[in-house]
Structure 1
């Protein structure tokens, strides 16, 4: 009985999927998928250079500012560190850390 239910569920899921192969469909090229928010444009294995993100100090930590600081630093990822926030302490040379004050203004930009 459980195999029948699992089989039916699998069949339903398969009916919801679609695979588009090159050359199939309307002939129009498929539009590229938008990059997810926070997706890195830095090359794989890049090393963060905090000097590039120093312009963010004193600015509000909006998503646009954080992303621009990440890109300028060449980091693969960025995180915001708020006052009294518990954070992991492992060093990651591909990560930009933006320290912010209680108002959300960037007070420091460091790698790690």
Structure 2
């Protein structure tokens, strides 16, 4: 399976503050680029960051970023802003 990596920036988006509430519906589903685009749109974030298993993240907080964490099977386990 081709799992998503890296980040995705929304083109020409105004400054935004993320809200991951609506995107929680994707927890338990397989991480795909299409779901990433949906999460980005639903959250009003400007940046999406994928969190593969056993990854290390910087601790910087960005109010315009949504994080999508998935496990070794590619199943989304957490979606949060920051």
Question: What are the residue-to-residue correspondences of 1:1-112 with 2, within 5 Å?
Answer: 38-40=8-10, 43-112=13-82
Counterparts of 1:66 and 1:46, CA distance in 2: 17
- 4+ residue runs over 4 A deviation: none
Structure possessing the higher radius of gyration over alpha carbons: 1
SS at match of 1:50: coil
* Structure having the larger proportion of residues in helix: 1
RMSD: 1.5
> Which structure's relative contact order is higher, taking Cα pairs within 8 Å and 6+ residues apart?
2
Count of residues paired in the alignment:
75
> What TM-score results when the alignment is normalised by the length of structure 1?
0.62
Q: 1:43: Cα distance to partner?
A: 3.4
> What TM-score results when the alignment is normalised by the length of structure 2?
0.82
Structure 1 segments unaligned to the other structure (5+ residues):
1-37
